[in-house]
Structure 1
Amino acid sequence: MEVSELKAWCAGHPGAKFDYQKDWNAERYLVGGKMFAMFGHDKSGTPILSVKCEPHRADMLREEYEDIKPGYYMNKTHWNSLALNGSLPDAIFKECITHSYELVFKGLTKKLQNEVTGQ
């Protein structure tokens, strides 16, 4: 899947906002001011997408897919980094982005959730 398609998928979630973290040289997507996806590179220069993930699910994905690693420069329990130049199926990227968005959204206050959904 093309990176531009993944970014469009991120941006398509309700209330998603884009920003650029200059210090990390990374493009981020946030909801309610909290990050749910980050496009960057690991120490070897491999392009990666880092997403939040429920810990048990994160472990299962890492075991199943060689191109999914503990979050690079993130909390290794709650974040995964997916290689963008690997062999992951398109559906995995979309599922992981949506799962991350939902986890972050659920962690927002009810007030912020209502602002995001327009209620």
Structure 2
Amino acid sequence: MNIEELRSYCLTKKGATESFPFGEQTLVFKVGDKIFLLTGLDSHPMSFNAKCDPEEAINLREQYPNSVFPGYHMNKKHWNTVVLNREITLDQAKRMIDHSYELIFNSLPLKIRDNI
């Protein structure tokens, strides 16, 4: 997965928007004005931060010790940094993105979810 594939995939999510609130090197994806994914445009190999259920976050870190880490500059209980270094398949990365989006979407007030 490269940056354009990541961007395209995130923008397929209902109500997803992209912005650069932290500077021109950090691409942020939001739903309902809440972040569900961040990625650095200058990271090599490419990586992203995604929200995760705390228990699942621990499981993923144990399952992929070379690719999934506590979220860099994020709440380490609820966020993972995922390094796309070929240990994780494209489908696995998409599942992590989906999970993050769903956690954020489901946390939005009903009125906002209905408008999305």
Q: Which TM-score applies when normalising by structure 1?
A: 0.87
Task: Name the counterpart of 1:47.
Answer: 46
> How far off its partner does 1:2 sit?
2.2
Once residues 24 and 84 of structure 1 are traced to their aligned partners in structure 2, the CA distance between those partners, rounded to angstroms, is: 21
Task: Name the counterpart of 1:60.
Answer: 59
Once residues 94 and 107 of structure 1 are traced to their aligned partners in structure 2, the CA distance between those partners, rounded to angstroms, is: 20
Q: How does 1:31-42 map to 2 (within 5 A)?
A: 31-40=31-40
Task: Name the counterpart of 1:95.
Answer: 95
How much is the aligned-residue C-alpha RMSD, in angstroms?
Answer: 2.0
Matched, 1:73 2:73: yes
Once residues 78 and 87 of structure 1 are traced to their aligned partners in structure 2, the CA distance between those partners, rounded to angstroms, is: 22
Question: CA 1:10–1:113 in structure 2 vs 1: closer, same or farther (change >3 Å)?
Answer: same
TM-superposition CA deviations, 1:66-101 (whole Å, max 9, x none): 200000000000000011344311111100000000
Once residues 87 and 60 of structure 1 are traced to their aligned partners in structure 2, the CA distance between those partners, rounded to angstroms, is: 15
Q: Which runs of 5+ in 2 are unaligned?
A: none
Q: Is the partner of 2:36 in helix, strand or coil?
A: strand
Q: Which portions of structure 1, spanning 4 or more consecutive aligned residues, are displaced by more than 4 angstroms?
A: none
Q: How does 1:9-48 map to 2 (within 5 A)?
A: 9-23=9-23, 25-40=25-40, 47-48=46-47
The number of equivalent residue pairs is 115
% of aligned pairs identical?
37
Once residues 5 and 34 of structure 1 are traced to their aligned partners in structure 2, the CA distance between those partners, rounded to angstroms, is: 21
Q: Which TM-score applies when normalising by structure 2?
A: 0.90
> How far off its partner does 1:23 sit?
3.9
Q: Which runs of 5+ in 1 are unaligned?
A: none
